[in-house]
Amino acid sequence: MQLSVELYSVAKCFGDHKAIDLIRQAGFDAVDFSYYYEKECEEILGENYKEYARELRAHLDEVGLSCNQAHAPFTFKYGMSRDTSDPKYLNIVRALESAAILGAENIVVHSITVPEDVDFEEYNIAYYSSFIPYCEAFNIHVAVENLFAKDAKRNRFVGKLGTPEELNSIVKKINSPWIVACVDVGHASLTGYEPEDFISRVDPDILKCLHIQDNDYLGDCHMLPYLADLNWHAIMTSLKKSGYKGDLTLEIVKYLQRFPQELIPDALKFAVVIGKHLISIYENA
């Protein structure tokens, strides 16, 4: 099991190349490449995106860091064209190709919120299915993530693929080896589940990647494990029992954003200590 961390918070301070160096120096095995900051970095999805991806891949190889997964932009909205004539859809396709060049096996693509009179699952099955030809061409899997939305009127979170059954259903109905599942343990806790229970109910055949973050059941905290309220021994034990064979990817954006720039290298090193401890629980379960 590789230990990975999302790139965004580090790259925002130091740029992609220096961020890769710092993540490797901290002791991580891999990186989750963040394409969702498309507005802040034209290079990653601009006209020369393939050349930039090859440049980054060479740097990854040089320092001995792999790219295990990625996260696509999430600015595509309901009603936009599900083809490359739409710039937002084009950015997702470019992210798929770029991530494949970097070596990622999976790239998370968020589902689309639809109006109340539109069938959510039907629309998103068509949406995810539209990426299958690109997955085949680039040799990369699209991962469907369990999400949430805020019901502001009732001051509560509601699910968007927020149950294991909904996540299983959409992936199974698409019925393609190129479409898999990603479980965000923090999101699971916001939609009414203990993450360990959520994991145990996701079909093990489709669960291929993770977003690991701690939270307080009240907000999407994206904190380092053990800094909030989730039961990490139970989560890692559940992963082992489920037969999960993928990597452990920390999505700890808000943890890293708490530190001044000069402390981020040390914050990353501490995150490695925690990540390796979690892996040891998994290995000994």
Structural domain that includes position 249: 3-284
Q: Do the Cβ atoms of 85 and 95 come closer than 8 Å? A: no
In the chain, the number of structural domains is: 1
Q: What would the pLDDT profile of 178-209 be if each residue is shown by its tens digit?
A: 999 999 999 999 999 999 999 999 999 999 99
Contacts of 111 (CB under 8 A, 6+ apart): 120, 124, 127, 128, 144, 145, 147, 160, 161, 170
pTM for the model stands at 0.95
User: What whole-number percentage of the chain has pLDDT above 70?
Assistant: 95
Arithmetic mean of pLDDT, 84-96: 96
Note the Cα 1 to chain centre separation in Å.
Answer: 16
Domain holding 47: CATH number? 3.20.20.150
pLDDT of residue 193: 95
SS (HEC) of 7-32:
CHHHHHHHCHHHHHHHHHHHCCCEEE
Q: Distance between CA 41 and CA 116 in Å, rounded?
A: 34
Give the sign of the dihedral formed by CA 197, CA 240, CA 173, CA 91. Answer: positive
256 Cβ contact list (under 8 Å, min separation 6): 9, 10, 264, 267, 268, 271
Give yes or no for a contact between 251 and 184, defined as CB atoms under 8 angstroms apart.
Answer: yes
The structure tokens 């299983």 sit at 168
